[in-house]
Amino acid sequence: MPLFDKIALVGIGLIGSSLARVIRREGLAGHIAVATRSASTLKRAEELGLGDSYLADLGEAVADADLVIVSVPVGSSGKVAEEIAPRLKKGAIVTDVGSTKRSVIAQMQPHIPAGVHFIPGHPLAGTEKSGPDAGFAELFENRWCIFTPLPGTDPAALEKLSEFWRRCGSNIDTMDPEHHDMVLAIVSHLPHIIAYNIVGTADDLETVTKSEVIKYAASGFRDFTRLAASDPTMWRDVCLHNKDAILEMLARFSEDLALLQRAIRWGEGEKLFEIFTRTRGVRRSIIEAGQEVDVPDFGRQAVEHPPR
């Protein structure tokens, strides 16, 4: 038996199309309705056979849906909620996958009608790719999905949504939205901002040619370029919609960078050695937690692009 009679996927990029694929593989829906903003993405989703119906009208797609998953850049979530709200079925669950939670809740919640369960969520799974071709059914396997339930959330609806994500392969955690935004600022948002910055700096250098940067990239630079190739719209929105937590983490980062700079300037080898030893331990813990594999090139070949 499918978990839901009808699931509507609003937004069919990397996350939406990965959901479509895993929903199909696991038989989680009787019917998958796909809706997106542009005609070209909708056509591509249809060519890929991601759903059972394809609609340019978001409202039409969510009508009669038991589960609606909004997978659009966080800055567009309010507009999407406004558009779908009048057609939402009583008793339906509406969730999202946005990388920031306080802002998404502020944008979406006012539009959600009484009797509809709004449960904000965020799967901590992704790649630097975007669009419907980029998705794959295994994306959420052994990854965390964090819910930031609002006060008064119906426990049965939360359990049903949790079961859905478990069947997509994820582990479930819940936290409050403020805490989510702070945690994600350090584990995801800051690394991306640093990567955008370092790749930008290298691109601006005059003393080293661009061809040298590309030629010798495997020395370390390459690993930053993967993050810095992430979708500009998504990351612009993340920066604008998790401003406070990101600025707090950036301030701490700058302080620590200044300490490193000082240690290098004054030849404080012991201090450098101690910091580098501590950070090496962090990577070991991530591998032990099953969130990374210990093979060369960070194992991305195997982890993020498994054979289909």
Please give the residue ranges that form the binding site for ligand NAP (CB under 6 A). 11-16, 36-38, 41, 71-74, 76, 80, 97-99, 123, 125-126, 130-131, 231, 234
The residue among 130 and 148 lying less far from ligand NAP, judged by its C-beta, is 130
**CB count, 10 Å around CB of 15?**
28
The residue among 263 and 298 lying less far from ligand NAP, judged by its C-beta, is 298
**CA–CA separation, 174 and 162 (whole Å):** 10
User: To the nearest whole angstrom, how small is the minimum distance from the Cβ of residue 74 to ligand NAP?
Assistant: 5
The residue among 121 and 149 lying less far from ligand NAP, judged by its C-beta, is 121
User: To the nearest whole angstrom, how small is the minimum distance from the Cβ of residue 207 to ligand NAP?
Assistant: 34
User: To the nearest whole angstrom, how small is the minimum distance from the Cβ of residue 37 to ligand NAP?
Assistant: 4
Tokens in use for 257?
A: 């960078």
The owner of tokens 């996958």 is 97
User: To the nearest whole angstrom, how small is the minimum distance from the Cβ of residue 14 to ligand NAP?
Assistant: 4
The residue among 16 and 149 lying less far from ligand NAP, judged by its C-beta, is 16
Tokens in use for 183?
A: 């945690």
The residue among 98 and 149 lying less far from ligand NAP, judged by its C-beta, is 98
User: To the nearest whole angstrom, how small is the minimum distance from the Cβ of residue 201 to ligand NAP?
Assistant: 23
The residue among 116 and 146 lying less far from ligand NAP, judged by its C-beta, is 146
The residue among 80 and 116 lying less far from ligand NAP, judged by its C-beta, is 80
The residue among 243 and 271 lying less far from ligand NAP, judged by its C-beta, is 243
User: To the nearest whole angstrom, how small is the minimum distance from the Cβ of residue 270 to ligand NAP?
Assistant: 38
User: To the nearest whole angstrom, how small is the minimum distance from the Cβ of residue 171 to ligand NAP?
Assistant: 15
- Would you say 227 and 128 are in contact if contact means Cβ atoms under 8 Å apart? yes
User: To the nearest whole angstrom, how small is the minimum distance from the Cβ of residue 84 to ligand NAP?
Assistant: 11
- DSSP state letters, the chain: --SEEEEEEE--SHHHHHHHHHHHHHT-EEEEEEE-S-HHHHHHHHHTT--SEEES-HHHHHTT-SEEEE-S-GGGHHHHHHHHGGGPPTT-EEEE--S-SHHHHHHHGGGSPTTSEEE-EEE----S--SGGG--TTTTTT-EEEE-PPTT--HHHHHHHHHHHHHTT-EEEE--HHHHHHHHIIIIIHHHHHHHHHHHHHHH-SSS-HHHHHHTGGGTHHHHHHHHTS-HHHHHHHHHHSHHHHHHHHHHHHHHHHHHHHHHHTT-HHHHHHHHHHHHHHHHHHHHTTSS--SGGGGHHHHHS---
Amino acid code (one letter) for 32: I
